Amino acid sequence: MQSVPENRKISPSLVFFAISSVQIGVGALGFQRIIAKTAGYDAWISVIIAGLATNMIMWIMYKIVELGKEDLGENHRYVFGKWIGGIFNTFFILYFTSFIIIVLRTYIEIVQVWMFADLNVFMFALFFLVLCIYVVKGGFRTVVGIAFFGVVLPSYLIILFGFTIPYADFHHFLPIFDHSLKDLIIASKQMSLTYMGYESFLIYYPFIKDKQKSKKWAHAALLGTTALYLYTTLISFGYYSEGQLQKDVWATLTTWKIVHLPVVERFEYVGIANWCLIILPNACLALWCATRLLKQTYRLPQRIGVYLVGAIAVCIIPIFDTRQEIDLLNSLLGNFGFIVNFIYLPLLLILIWMVKKVKKKT
């Protein structure tokens, strides 16, 4: 691949928003139920464990691009050769396309349940993905610009969780360590869907200026996301009983029902509408990554690839109609994301190290 021109690169500080924006998505609206089923009120420990684990994987990602090639697609070819490397790239194209489908379909389900039951899934997906295509065609800098606004503009929502504090009972957390280490580890694994997305870093790494300076921003983004999820978890666990947590599909949204402002009676509607701005960079970055890999692997121009991937997503999204199907999709992607981040990427680093050592000897 040709080197990326300087005028198409982003400053190191913007890596913070590129990573934060893709980690905060639909998973943030209902992850509490999933982890509470396994580890109860001790699940807040699992949030910290999973967050620290993402920093470990980020360190591995930097080692991959420093020891091998500058992006995932080129590393696949470096390790596996042109044809097998192309197969691995294809898996990741499908992975990022699935990410778009699941994020958007889950958001549409929330809109249907909470606001508009008769919402046309196909039309909403079509208009949303047309917007994503428009953003991606503006280039990677435009995608990161949307990521910046997707983090900054809805950030006021964090403050509104404070409305639950007067009604919270933080004695719920006692006794601490009431669950086994196995339960805590399983709950940490179940946070995969909530934390996933930061692996896109391996695709856009060549588009970063002063790459060494970006390290602190990448780790700061992961720690910031961990702090946000920990805050949300503590607020939710203090507000809900354990039985309520295990039954409430979208605990974060239900929390907003107690927010009453002079000009807004049903604040959860405002929160859901604002969440559209949060999932927009999720879909845009995944679309950019999928089409970037298409360009590298099959020489398909990115301006054409966005229409192809967008069309595939629009056609597949309406197929999944029931809560069980959507929940299964989320579980499958979460499990696959866990395999990619915590099994495949460390293995890829080892393979790159071995290939480099062999090539040096020859």
Q: What is the pLDDT of residues 68-98, one digit of tens each?
A: 888 899 999 999 988 999 999 999 999 999 9
Span 290-316, mean pLDDT?
Answer: 94
Q: How far apart are CA 27 and CA 167, in angstroms?
A: 24
Instruction: Look at residues 61, 87, 96 and name the one whose alpha carbon lies nearest to residue 297.
Output: 87
pLDDT band at residue 318 using 50, 70 and 90 as cut-offs:
very high
**Residue 173, pLDDT above cutoff 60:** yes
27 close to 34: Cβ distance less than 8 angstroms: no
Helices (H) and strands (E) in the chain, counts: 18, 0
218-238: average pLDDT? 92
Confidence of residue 159 (pLDDT cuts 50, 70, 90): confident
Model pLDDT, residue 158: 81
Residue-wise pLDDT tens digits, 57-68: 999 999 999 998
Distance CA(129)–CA(125), nearest Å, equals 6
- Topology, domain 6-361: Amino acid/polyamine transporter I (1.20.1740)
Q: If residue 3 lies in a helix (H) or strand (E), which one and from where to where?
A: none
Is 32 or 15 the better-scoring residue by pLDDT? 15
Q: Residue 77 in contact with residue 291, Cβ under 8 Å?
A: no
Across the range 241-254, mean pLDDT stands at 81
Given this model, what pLDDT does residue 359 score? 79
Judged on CB neighbours under 10 Å (0-12, 13-18, 19+), 4 is middle
Rounded to the nearest integer, the mean pLDDT of the chain is 89
Could you read off the pLDDT of 178-189 as tens digits, one per residue? 888 888 889 888
- Residues 105-149 pLDDT 10s: 999 999 998 888 899 999 999 999 999 999 999 999 999 999 999
For the chain, the distance separating the N- and C-terminal CA atoms, rounded to the nearest angstrom, is 25
Mean per-residue pLDDT, 208-232:
93
Regarding predicted confidence, which is higher, 239 or 55?
Answer: 55
For the segment 16-24, the average pLDDT, to the nearest whole number, is 93
In this prediction, residue 129 carries a pLDDT of 95
Extract the tokens encoding 24: 């905060």
- Environment class of residue 265 by beta-carbon count within 10 Å: exposed (0-12), middle (13-18) or buried (19+)? exposed
Which range, 11-25, 230-244, 323-337, is most confident? 11-25
> Cβ distance 44 to 228 under 8 Å?
no
pLDDT of residue 262: 77
